[in-house]
Amino acid sequence: GSLPSDSLNLITTNTISSGVSSSSFTSNINSTYDTYLFKFINIHPANDDTKLLINFSSDTGSNYNVTKTTTFFNAQHRESGSGNDLGYRTGADLAQSTSGFNITEGTGNDNDQSSSGELFLFSPSNTTYVKHFIGRSNTIIAADGTIDNFFSGYCNTTSAVDAVQFAMGSGNIDSGTIKLYGLKDS
């Protein structure tokens, strides 16, 4: 709501209509923009109760192994009225790890279950500082409820981050859309 209408520029869209192990963005993440925004929409997993992961590359996607330190908390509520919770998820964060970082919790694979959200990546081409990211997602979980996820962290590298990959913690991404935007004059 606070962005001028011409400041959000769609760069590319990855549409997933049949199972893929991952969805990667290996071009157009460069010094053109200071901030990049990924919107992932209705990501539906092939496997039940799995997480959507992100990882970063500094070699145009040859390897997704950039060291990350992250944080993750969420609020949840189940359709049954139980499972109400707000809390930090110690097991969901990373401390100086090259593993994929989960940005959702336990997405179900019923026909009406999926995850959607957004991820901001700041100054990925900067070669002086680490690369910060923040995001938020909502998941319809396998246990029939909703989880509002908040996550952030940094890629602990001064190398340029030039590729980002989305993958499920287990199995394929069955369907969904991921859009990459550049934020002008951010």
The model's pLDDT over 57-99, given as tens digits with 9 standing for 90+, comes to: 999 999 999 999 999 999 999 999 988 899 999 889 999 999 9
pLDDT of residue 135: 98
Distances (CA, A) of 163 to 43, 81, 141, 148: 19, 40, 28, 26
pLDDT of residue 3: 58
Distance CA 63, CA 100 (A): 12
pLDDT of residue 41: 98
CA–centroid distance for 138 within its chain? 11
Helix (H) or strand (E) holding 148: strand 145-155
Burial 67-97 (b: 16+ CB within 10 A, else e): bbbbbbbbebeeeeeeeeeeeebeebbbeee
DSSP state of 153: E
Count of all residues that appear for the chain in the document:
186
pLDDT of residue 185: 73
pLDDT of residue 4: 60
* Global confidence as pTM: 0.94
Up-side HSE of residue 186: CA atoms within 13 Å toward CB? 21
From the first residue on, what is the mean pLDDT of each consecutive set of 10 residues in the chain (186 residues)? 73 96 97 97 98 97 98 94 90 95 95 97 97 98 95 98 98 98 84
pLDDT of residue 130: 98
